[in-house]
Structures are given as structure tokens and as C-alpha cells.
Structure 1
Amino acid sequence: MPPTVSVVVPTHNSSKTLAACLAAIHRQRHPVTEVIVVDDASTDDTREIARRFPCRLLVTDRNVGPAAARNRGIQASSGDLIFFLDSDCAPEPDALGNALAILRDQPDVACVHGIYSLEPLIDDGPVEAYRLLHGHYWRLRNVGRVRTTLFAICLIRREVFTSVGLFDEKLRASEDVEIGDRMGDRYGIVLTDTMVCRHDDDDRLGALLHKQFRRSQMLIPVARAERGPAGIRANTRAGLLTATLVPATLPTALLTGGWPVLSLLFLVLFTVAEPALLRFVLRQRGPAFTAFFIGVHLLVQLAVVSGALVGGVRHLLDRDFGPTRASLAAKTSR
């Protein structure tokens, strides 16, 4: 008998994309056993949209975050395999079948996750195009055996949760990275470019920067809790460092007659810090968009660094700020 597959879709205020997500699930060439939508206290008509589709709808009475929503879906599901999908993602028809083939052909693999398409789910302009280009690039760069799990589109064996536990509900960001580290060397993890979804990403610069700042606050606490080698990183150290030095060296203009020579130098170094990314964007969208991409990318890197620094300080002052296991370890060592 082929394995049964439960689909779990955590969602919050996803009226814009949920119908496309659920329609794409039902277009999968490999049939699914059940679809469970976990509505995390939406205030729009998300629940009404879910009820139009053959799925089981679970509703939280307060907003608990994606980790807790996924946990509720896991506990309510019955499949041998769980296909996680974010509600702003629409998988290509062969996505599930391709992931199943990897699990079948590589018995030591317990988790397969995929990449974003360059084609948006809904085209909302240049900021979203930036996000999709970068998101597609860094996932494609890491295709193969990895130590990190990314649950936007992911197929995983149920036994993993029995063994390592559920998602850490304290985390509203990096919860997938944290559970991937707990999987460690016990379970194989594959990032594949054969499991593809179209994604509706951030399309407003302010909202994007705020999200990056908020989410990156968990980077240092989660990294300090990691027991194995660092997993997938969307941003390189060279890019983060040179981006930070662009504004950091602006005061030196007072010593050079008003010309921010060092800042301009670090801007050039930032531009070429990831030559493969630069070539990729040029090839995909041309020089004009590449200039726009570099400007937005600089701001995003600064938001990530700022958030990481704030999160690091918060973690030092309050060890409860971060993964549960890090908090327990800190209390045990006292």
C-alpha cells in the first residue's frame, strides 16, 4: 500500500491566497488522504474560503503562531506522511509526487522540502519580484542534502515528530530551523528543485523590512541552541558585513571633505559580495532591475543585522527569549 498523505495548511488572514493554495493541493497528480486547514484566529474571511473546499477546518481562539498551528494540524492528522504548505503557496501539480519519489528512492531521508518558483502566485510589483528572485536563488544554491528544514512546502515522515517532538511553540520565527537541528544526523533532509510552488510574497518595502527585523531577532538565540553545524543561510556573511559597513562608515565623510569614500567603497564591495547572485539577477531581469535589487537587498541586509543584534541583546538579558531548549539549558546551568 502506498503511504497516506495528510496536508496541513496553517493560515492567518489569508483570504487573498488560500483559494489558490487549496485548489493547487487538489490538482496534485498524487492523491492526498486529507487536507487540514488550521486557521490561526483570522479576522478576515479566511474560514469562509476554506469551507468552499473539501478540507477539515480547525480554528484557534487566539493567534498562537505558525509553530502552534502546525502542531495542532499534526495532532489532528492521520497520514503516514505530512505535507506542509503555507497558505500563500500553490504547489505545482507534480510537487507532491516528486517529493514522494525522493522518499521512496532514498529510505534514509525523512524530510523533503522545495523551492519557490520565479513566477509569483499573484504579481504585486517590483518588491515582490526582488523577494522571489532572492528566495529562489538561495534555495537553488543549497539544493541537495542539508541540515535545515523549511516548511513553506515540505513533506515529512510522521515518525520524525514522534522521535524529536513537535514544533517549539515559543518561536514565531525560525521554528523550522530549530526543529531541523533537533533532527540532526538521525534523519536525512533533502532540499530539491523538483518540488516547486508559486508564492505570494511581500510587496511593500516597509512591511518587508519590518518582517525581516522581527524574524531575524531569533537568529542568534536559535543559532546558540544549535547542536550541529550551521544549516542553510539565506544571506552570506560577506553580504551582511559589507552592508553593515556602508552606513557605519558614513561619519568618515567628515574626514574626507564631505565625500563618503569608505561608504561608497563598501557599497561596491556589497554589490559584488555575492557574484553568483549578481549574475543571476542580471540574467533574469537585466541591469535596471538589478540596480533596484541591490538597493532593496542592502536595506534588507541592514534590517537582518539590526534585528539579529536586538535579538542577541534580548537573549542575553532574558534567556527565556529564544528556543525552549536554550531556556531550559540556561536554567539548568545556574
Structure 2
Amino acid sequence: MKTSVSVIIPCFNAERTILRTLEALDKQTAKGFEVILADDGSNDETVKTAKSFKPENYKLIVIAEKHAGPAAQRNRGAKKAKGELLLFTDSDCVPEKNWVSEMAKPFADKNIVGVSGTYRTLNNEKIIARFEGYEIAKRHEKLARQKYIDFIGSFSAGYRKNIFKKFGGFSSDFKRADAEDPELSFKIAKTGYRMVFNPKAVVAHPHVSTLKKFWKQKFSRGFWRVLLYKKHPEKMRGDSYTGKEVQLSLIFLAAFLLSFAGFFLATAFKNIALMNFLAKSAILSHAAFYLVNFPTMVFMIQKEKKMALFAPAIIFIRTLAWGLGFAWGLVKLIMKRSG
């Protein structure tokens, strides 16, 4: 490649998926880059499995560190990197054969300092995974309509190394793979640097496929958003990836749940006027919730008719998990300040 590239992959207990990722990188149309695998204190055979792989078209470097979280491992990988461009993906992602070249392509413009790629769902046989894939696809359509973006996800991220260093890399305040990636891109965009979305840079990814894992993921997303918005309060109004429908959904869902609970409380006191008010409030807020999410549901149904049955319930569960996670994050923040 004309421009030197380093691909950085943080991993933790990824023995089942890491070979698939490394093999996909060996099939890239681009050649001569390096891949740095930064292990986060795995207690399985991740490091051994990775070291056993002998790539033909790139140099593989495996570094093993103590458990510190994905943000810290990406930063450690970046310190070892020799490339002018740093590309990031995850240990369960499968980059398509032109991923490296497509991620590098926008950097031909010297004004571009960051690039985001896109997802393709790997486990399409699962309804929850397909829902997740459709929702991301809709948001990526929003990214594609914008000349410049402020949100880059680490599953397919690219930065100029000098810019990455200038902004200190990913914040290790985020101990999980949640919100540390947009926190960096928000910082960079805030100073006027330009970043773009390239829908041709694709990685396949197995999204969560069970309701339990889906709930835990969305709860965690909500929890870590508290820290993200503490650092970047202006982004509570939305960003190039997250629209205002998220905030509106949370508001209307909270109004519905409070009205619904209040209605049954009012029945205990036989307060007819209050019962009528709360019943109307519950109906209106519930309708408003689904009105806000109507474009997303239409998008999903256009992709798959079956989503007409599943999307409304999954959207409700997703928003509830977000909200409870965010509320718990606020509680933890208040406790930390008061303690």
C-alpha cells in the first residue's frame, strides 16, 4: 500500500472468533499492512490461537496485557503501530475483502482525519440479530446522507495516527466496549476536523441473538451514555448517528409507565377524575412513543414483513433497557459525587 496501515484488534476470550477475523484480513485486496492483536488478559486460548496463525499478506503482532478494557488495549496497540493510518475492528468481526482499501481510500483527501465503515449482519437466522442489523442499517443511512460525521464506531474505525495521538486515543474511563468510540470522535469533530462515512467499507458481525443478551447490551449502552454525556453534554440533543427519536422515545416511555402505574394507584383511592386523566395520558404517551418510532418500524418492515409482528415489542424492550441503564448510570454518578 502507498500509505502505511496498521489494523488494531482488541480481544478478550475470543478463541472462537479470532481466527475467522485474522483469515479475513489475510484475504484483503490490500497487501503489506500490519495487524496488531492486543489481548486484554484473556483466560482462554486466544493468544495461543492467534500466534498459531501464519498470515501470508500482512505482518501479525500479538501483544498480551493485563485486563484493562478494550479502550486501553486499542491505545496500547496504537502505541506499537508503525502505520500512518490506524484502522480498528473487533475480534468477532469479519472484514470483507476490500475493507482495508476502502477504509484507507477517503484519507487520500488530506483534510479527512477519520473514517467510519459499516456493518453486515453475520447471524441472519436470529430475529433479534436481524432487528439489530436493520436498526443499524437505518442509522447508517443517516450517516451516508451527511458530508461529514461526528460519530465513529470502533467496529470499523480509521484515524490518522498523528490525530489519534493528539487527542489521547480512546478514553480508558470507559471500562467496557460502550461509548468510548464516539467519545473520541466527538472530541475530534468538536475542534473542526473532518471525518466521513464510507458505506463500502464493510465488516460482517454477529449481533446479539437472545433477548437476555439484547437486554444486557442495551442496559449497558444506557449506563455508559451517562459518562459520555457528562463529557459531551451538547450531544444529548443528538449526533450524526443518533437522532432525536432516542430522547423522545425515552421521554414518552417514561410518561407512559408513570401514567400507567399512577392509574392503578388512583383506583385504590377511587379518584375518578385522576383516573381519567392518567388513562388519557397513558394512551397518548403510548401512541406518541410508537409514532416517534414509526419510521424505524416502516424501514424494518420494508426489509422483512415479519418485523411487523416483532419490531414493536423489541423497540419497547430496547427503550426500557436503555432508560433503566441510563437511570442507574445517573444514580451511580450521584453516589460517586456525594461519596
- Flag whether TM exceeds 0.5 (same fold): yes
Q: Is the contact between residue 6 and residue 32 of structure 1 (CA under 8 Å) also seen in structure 2?
A: no
Counterparts of 1:196-275 in structure 2, within 5 Å, are 196-226=202-232, 230-231=238-239, 232-233=241-242, 236-251=246-261, 252-253=263-264, 254=267, 262-275=281-294
Cα distance per residue 1:175-200 (max 9 Å; x no partner): 11221222123421112212111111
Q: Deviations over 1:106-131 (max 9, x none)?
A: 321111011112xx223451111111
Contact 2:131-2:300 at 8 Å conserved across structures: no
Would the aligned equivalents of 1:246 and 1:262 in 2 still touch at CA under 8 Å? yes
Cα distance between partner residues in 1 of 2:293 and 2:197: 21
Q: Distance in 1 between matches of 2:174 and 2:186?
A: 14
Distance 2:242 2:328 in 1: 19
Q: More deviation in 176-185 or 236-245? A: 236-245
Partner of 1:295: 313
Query: 1: distance between equivalents of 2:312 and 2:21?
Result: 31
Of all paired residues, the percent bearing the same amino acid is 21
AA aligned opposite 1:125: K
- Counterpart of 2:143? 142
Q: Whole-Å Cα distance in 2 between the matches of residues 148 and 14 of structure 1?
A: 26
Structure 1 residue 26: Cα displacement: 1.5
Aligned length: 315
Query: How far apart are 1:260 and its partner, in Å?
Result: 6.1
- Cα distance in 2 for partners of 1:31, 1:142 equals 29
Q: Which residue of 2 aligns with 1:308?
A: 326
Q: Secondary structure at the match of 1:58?
A: strand
In structure 1, what is the Cα distance between the partners aligned to 2:227 and 2:325? Answer: 12
Q: Which amino acid aligns with 1:219?
A: R
**Residue type matched to 1:163 in 2?**
K
AA matched with 1:267? H
Moved over 6 A (4+): none
8 A contact 2:297–2:311 mirrored in 1: no
CA distance in 2, matches of 1:101, 1:221: 33
Q: 1:77 to 1:49 in 2, by over 3 A?
A: same
Q: Is residue 335 of structure 2 the alignment partner of residue 317 of structure 1?
A: yes
CA offset at residue 261 of structure 1? 6.1
One-letter amino acid of the structure 2 residue matched with residue 207 of structure 1: K
Shift in Å, 1:56 = 1.5
Q: Could you tell me how far apart the structure 2 residues matched to 1:271 and 1:228 are? A: 26
Q: Distance in 2 between matches of 1:210 and 1:131?
A: 14
Counting only pairs closer than 5 Å after superposition, residues 26-37 of structure 1 correspond to structure 2 as 26-37=26-37
Question: What is the rounded CA distance, in whole Å, between the counterparts of 1:320 and 1:191 in structure 2?
Answer: 41
Consecutive unaligned residues in structure 1, runs of 5 or more: 322-334
* CA distance in 1 between partners of 2:77 and 2:131 (Å): 32
Structure 1 residues 204 and 43: CA distance shift in structure 2, 3 A: farther
Alignment correspondent of 1:329? none
TM-score, length-scaled by structure 1: 0.86
Residue 298 of structure 1: CA displacement? 1.0
Could you tell me which of 53, 70, 74 is aligned with 2:74? 70
Judge conservation of contact 2:11–2:91 (CA < 8 Å) in 1.
yes
Check conservation: 1:7, 1:32, Cα contact below 8 A: no
SS in 1 for 2:319: helix
Distance 1:290 1:14, change over 3 A: farther
How far, CA to CA, are the matches of 1:313 and 1:249 in structure 2? Answer: 23
**TM-score normalised by L of structure 2:** 0.84
Structure-2 residue corresponding to 1:168: 171
1:151 to 150, 154, 173: 154
Deviation at 1:44, TM superposition (A): 2.7
Is the contact made by 2:143 and 2:149 (CA closer than 8 Å) also made in structure 1? Answer: yes
| Contact persistence 2:85–2:104 (CA under 8 A) | no
5+ unaligned residues in a row in structure 2: which ranges? none
Q: CA deviation at 1:202?
A: 0.9
Corresponding position of 1:125: 126
Q: Deviations over 1:82-111 (max 9, x none)?
A: 11011121122122222222111x321111
Residue identity matched to 1:244 = A
Distance 1:250 1:228 in 2: 32
- 1:37 CA displacement: 0.9
The aligned residue for residue 191 of structure 1 is 197
**SS of match in other structure, 2:159:** strand
Distance in 2, Cα, partners of 1:91 & 1:320 = 45
